[in-house]
């Protein structure tokens, strides 16, 4: 039965601070949001490309360009409800108030993005001959109308047809709504940049993410460890608002994993990275329909296969972030097992580093101990029995499991504290999000 000792646990771990591109972070989140509706793959990146291209052509200042870039690539962040996302595919869709408000409230949870909230809140507001300058007596940022136009252009693109053969029809639809849905000034600029075939070929390219990074690299900033920690909590809120069945789960895993890491003498930096990985480990569940996430009965084989894919999507989302390699590995390996029968990669033995083994134990412990709407959390004796069985079957690392069970009372208090705090945060978030103030 293979085990890693605390003495060996620090091999290949970084000991310096980390710095991550803001572009990589928002690109990974836009990919995660696209997973909610596979029909809209690359939708956020396309809207960002259109909006930022228009703004750049118009000579917007650097700071305003940066806001447009970030707001447009995250514009549907509030469309967590799958049905709302499907409705927004309609060209003349005007019912985006709910997900616009929710998106704005989510952005306020991450202070570096708080200034994006007004742009996102009103991105489905019609221009309506200038009446759209106000909404419910509130001033609508002019750039929200720019994002609205970009969003509708992106919706009109048909990936089943050659992009250059669609230009005239898309232009016709946009012109038909000039000064109605859209500001005539923005429509005029769109028609100018539309004359370049490269605009359309870039827009339809499967490499749109790379194109964005190349064309607008001058807009990116770098995030340090404190920003990344806040960002991971921001991700966790998005994950936890997706389903009431697993609300606060990410926070419980993060707190448990961080404490276990400290017991194995991880550095302060690596303990923080472990916490970040815990917050992000279930980001791939955005690809799992709520009908499966919230099913109280037993899942059938087809449904289990959908669930089993989520940790793969966690890896594919986080793998886009340069400098996130350890965090990505720890987060995406949380359903692996030492015997190689876990998922999604089937790693075994030495393929699973100590950080991954800690995350595996932290995830199982939190899932067993936390209350769910359909059951109460298990008591200590039952949790011990589950872990003893996992060790006997060579599923989990014995030393990591022993570290948790030997410190059960304090580990459980840490988990409970983190989840209670997150529950209070989520309750406050939903209260403000539904107040529409």
CA–CA dist 409, 77 (Å, integer)? 38
Predicted local confidence at residue 97, as pLDDT: 67
Cα 43 to the center of its chain, rounded Å? 15
Distance (Å, rounded) from C-alpha 82 to C-alpha 79?
Answer: 7
Q: Taking the CA atoms of the chain, what radius of gyration do you get in angstroms?
A: 23
Strand, coil or helix: what is 216?
Answer: coil
Read off φ and ψ for residue 222, nearest 5 degrees: -110, 140
- pLDDT value of residue 303: 94
- The residues that bridge with 223 in the sheet, in sequence order, are 20
Query: What Cα–Cα distance (Å) separates residue 174 from each residue in 156, 257, 417?
Result: 10, 51, 52
List beta partners, residue 20: 223
Q: What is the pLDDT of residues 368-425, one digit of tens each?
A: 999 877 789 999 999 999 999 999 999 999 999 999 999 999 999 999 999 999 999 8
At 428 the pLDDT is 85
Q: How far apart, in whole angstroms, are the C-alpha atoms of residue 346 and residue 338? A: 9
Q: Which of 202, 284, 281 is nearest to 34 (CA)?
A: 284
Return the ∠ at Cα 167 (arms to 163 and 173), rounded to 5°: 125
In angstroms, rounded to a whole number, what is the distance separating the alpha carbons of residues 14 and 19?
12
> Domains of the chain by range and CATH?
6-15+224-435 (1.10.3210.10), 21-220 (1.10.3210.10)
pLDDT digits (tens, 9 = 90+) for 205-214: 999 999 998 8
> What is the model's pTM?
0.87
DSSP string, 79-107: --SHHHHHHTTSTT----HHHHHHHHHHH
Low-confidence ranges of the chain (pLDDT < 50): 1-5, 7-15, 82-86, 91
Tokens of 432: 């403000």
Taking a C-beta distance cutoff of 8 angstroms, is the pair 359, 311 a contact? no
According to the model, what pLDDT value does residue 83 have? 46
Sign of CA dihedral 392, 394, 397, 399: positive
> pLDDT tens for residues 297-327?
889 999 999 999 999 999 999 999 999 999 9
């Amino acid at each position: 039965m293979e085990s890693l000792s605390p003495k060996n646990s620090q091999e290949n771990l970084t000991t310096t601070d980390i710095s991550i591109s803001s572009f990589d972070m928002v690109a990974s989140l836009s990919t995660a949001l696209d997973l909610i509706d596979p029909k809209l793959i690359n939708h956020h990146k396309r809207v960002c490309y259109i909006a930022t291209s228009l703004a750049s052509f118009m000579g917007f200042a650097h700071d305003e360009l940066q806001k447009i870039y970030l707001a447009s690539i995250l514009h549907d962040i509030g469309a967590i409800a799958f049905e709302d996302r499907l409705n927004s595919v309609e060209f003349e869709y005007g019912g985006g108030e709910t997900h616009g408000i929710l998106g704005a409230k989510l952005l306020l949870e991450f202070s570096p993005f708080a200034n994006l909230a007004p742009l996102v809140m009103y991105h489905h507001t019609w221009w309506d001959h200038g009446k759209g300058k106000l909404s419910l007596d509130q001033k609508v940022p002019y750039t929200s109308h720019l994002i609205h136009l970009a969003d509708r252009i992106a919706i009109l693109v048909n990936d089943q047809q050659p992009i250059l053969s669609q230009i005239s029809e898309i232009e016709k639809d946009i012109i038909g709504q000039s000064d109605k849905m859209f500001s005539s000034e923005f429509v005029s600029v769109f028609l100018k940049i539309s004359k370049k075939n490269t605009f359309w070929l870039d827009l339809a390219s499967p490499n749109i993410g790379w194109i964005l990074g190349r064309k607008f690299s001058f807009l990116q900033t770098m995030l340090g460890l404190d920003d990344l920690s806040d960002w991971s909590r921001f991700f966790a809120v998005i994950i936890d608002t997706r389903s009431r069945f697993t609300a606060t789960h990410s926070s419980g895993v993060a707190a448990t994993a961080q404490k276990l890491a400290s017991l194995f003498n991880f550095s302060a930096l690596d303990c923080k990275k472990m916490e970040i990985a815990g917050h992000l480990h279930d980001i791939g569940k955005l690809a799992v329909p709520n009908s499966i996430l919230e099913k109280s009965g037993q899942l059938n084989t087809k449904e289990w296969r959908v669930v089993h894919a989520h940790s793969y999507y966690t890896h594919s989302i986080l793998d886009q972030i340069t400098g996130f390699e350890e965090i990505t590995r720890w987060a995406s390996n949380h359903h692996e097992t030492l015997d190689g029968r876990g998922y999604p990669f089937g790693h075994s033995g030495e393929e699973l580093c100590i950080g991954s083994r800690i995350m595996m134990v932290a995830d199982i412990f939190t899932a067993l101990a936390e209350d769910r709407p359909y059951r109460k959390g298990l008591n200590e004796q039952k949790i011990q029995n589950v872990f003893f069985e996992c060790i006997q079957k060579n599923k989990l690392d014995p030393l990591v499991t022993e570290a948790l069970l030997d410190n059960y009372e304090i580990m459980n208090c840490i988990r409970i504290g983190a989840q209670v705090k997150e529950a209070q945060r989520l309750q406050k978030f939903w209260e403000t999000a539904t107040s529409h103030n």
